[in-house]
Amino acid sequence: DAGVIQSPRHEVTEMGQEVTLRCKPISGHNSLFWYRQTMMRGLELLIYFNNNVPIDDSGMPEDRFSAKMPNASFSTLKIQPSEPRDSAVYFCASRPLGGEDTQYFGPGTRLTVL
């Protein structure tokens, strides 16, 4: 299995631009999570989906952030407009639904907003 796939791996953009991060979960995993990691705030859960349905988006910082999961094999996290304080590493993770199974993280997208 290829594991969780994220793209791009690195993104540098200017303030005000739209940024779209992409994630392909592990096949057969029903839960998908988006996290953001910074030195100051650690690893924060932004939103998660079960069976493509958003369950908890309380971690989404503000309306500039949106996430979709149109099917079981693809999710996007969009920031519009981006700001310098959005600079972070964004991780996607997937997990089989239910039980106590672990989450499997993708390699992350390192976002820099100038």
Partner 1 sequence: RKEVEQDPGPFNVPEGATVAFNCTYSNSASQSFFWYRQDCRKEPKLLMSVYSSGNEDGRFTAQLNRASQYISLLIRDSKLSDSATYLCVVLHTNAGKSTFGDGTTLTVKP
Residues engaged in binding partner 1 (CB under 8 A): 31, 33, 35, 42-43, 45, 48, 50, 55-56, 91, 99-100, 102-103, 105-108
In the complex with partner 1, the residue whose CB is nearer, 33 or 113, is 33
User: Which residue number, 74 or 105, has a Cβ lying nearer to partner 1?
Assistant: 105
Query: Which residues in the chain belong to E strands, given as ranges?
Result: 5-7, 10-13, 19-24, 31-38, 42-50, 53-56, 65-71, 74-79, 88-95, 104-105, 109-113
- Provide, rounded to whole angstroms, the least separation between the CB of residue 2 and partner 1: 14
